[in-house]
Copies of this chain bind each other. A is one copy, B any other.
Amino acid sequence: METKEKVKVGLIGLGQRGNGLLPNILNNDALITCICDKFEDRIAKIKKIIKDKGFEEPFGTTSYLDVLDKKPDCLIVATSWNSHVEVALAAMDRGIPVAIEVGGTHNIADCWKLIDTYEKTKTPFFFLENCCYGKDEMLATSLARNGLLGEIVYCQGAYSHDLREEIAGGIDTHHYRLEEYKNHNCENYPTHELGPIAKVLNINRGNRFLKVVSMSSKACGMEEFIKKTPKYKDRLANVKFKQGDVTTTMIECENGETILLKLDTTLPHLYDRNFTVCGTEGVYCQTTKSVVLDDGRYDHEKDPIEKSFLNQKDYDEYLPEDWKGITQEQIDAGHGGMDFVMLKHFFKYIKNKEEMPIDIYDAAAWMSVTSLSEESIAKGSIPIECPDFTRGKYKNRKPLDVLSLPTIVKK
């Protein structure tokens, strides 16, 4: 493949997330040559969208194996959580580079299958954790890399997203979250916050997760929501939800840092990832969009915390180039621009055969937290040991950030 050629993408899964990725693929250095979904109507709809945008109509199929036979340059998998692994294994077995959407896994054995297949085939694998490329996450990482936060000792994050409508709506939209929330109780969606935290802490690259402990509150949010929502009131009246409204998870790392995650998706509130990085010289907090350093700017005893709100704009010079030069179109294409930035770099990795900065070991370590947290909760919040999916290789793997970050030298 010539560098000037566009990357030919097979897109598997044309639901909500497949639709979201579509413009970000087409706005980048890529073409969608094959599409696949189990629902024919989705295939027809996406074919039309792609044609209407002036591109060649892609090959459409209800079987992802047909897509693999067409040998695209890479596969992007945006199916429901529980089918990512199967498709990724098949793609790697056939030597087709594959990127899978995020989600947790209830099955540690699946993670090992990913690892074993990758190590056997060496087929490039990428985990589409867009938040690793997020503006706030990149700013905090850059502050950390530039030493402004000192030695990092603690990180926290959350997936606080009011998904009550999406979960209940699964009865009409086939959304897998409905079944998930009925049948499981765990940190079911850890990677949006854990991904960027793991990158900051160099997990699988000199550091690793040691243990996970989780606790879940009672589950009241969905039932209350259904009771007061006419369109679901009768149809979902007898549904019981196993998933607690708020699940908190603590993770200990080998280098002594600790991590706190909060899943909070069935109560009313505004969206928040609460990405927080705490070090001996300062703290970054995404919720308040603030940076507080040990530099005398604030009186830590007397200044109210509001004084620091939204001050992160004063640190824009620490942003990577991709974020300094982002356009409105790229921002509007999805999740405030991070989908565009992530896919731009993913296609670059594919074209230049670069090392994936979010790889199979990261995917396994992050996704497995779902399963580990489920076991912890089921056993009364006992600590569960984390597998080392690198089998010791983490000790010698060098840190690798997802984007090149500026080095700011202060006079």
Binding site for B on A (CB under 8 A): 150-151, 153-154, 162, 211, 213, 215-218, 220-221, 224-225, 244-246, 248, 250, 252, 255-258, 260, 262, 264, 267-272, 278-283, 287-289, 292-294, 298, 300-301, 303-310, 380-383
Contacts and interface: CB of A to CB of B under 8 A. Distances in A.
Given A151-B224, A269-B300, A288-B287, A218 B257 contact: yes
A interface secondary structure, majority? loop
B294 A268 contact: yes
A224 B280 CA distance: 7
Nearest to A162: B300
A283 B267 contact: yes
A270 B307 contact: yes
A153 B218 contact: yes
B217 A300 contact: no
Contacts of A310: 306
A234 B246 CA distance: 46
A293 B306 contact: no
Copies in the complex: 2
Contact of A252 (B215, B271, B293): B215
A268 B248 contact: no
A162 B255 CA distance: 23
Contacts of A150: 220, 224
A329 B372 CA distance: 53
**Which of A151, A264, A270, A281 has most chain B Cβ within 10 Å?**
A270
Given A270-B308, A300-B268, A305-B287, A217 B154 contact: yes
A220 B280 contact: yes
Given A280-B267, A293-B268, A301 B162 contact: yes
Contact of A153 (B267, B278, B282, B380): B267
B217 A281 contact: no
Contacts of A153: 217-218, 220-221, 244-246, 267
Contacts of A220: 150-151, 153, 280
A282 B221 CA distance: 10
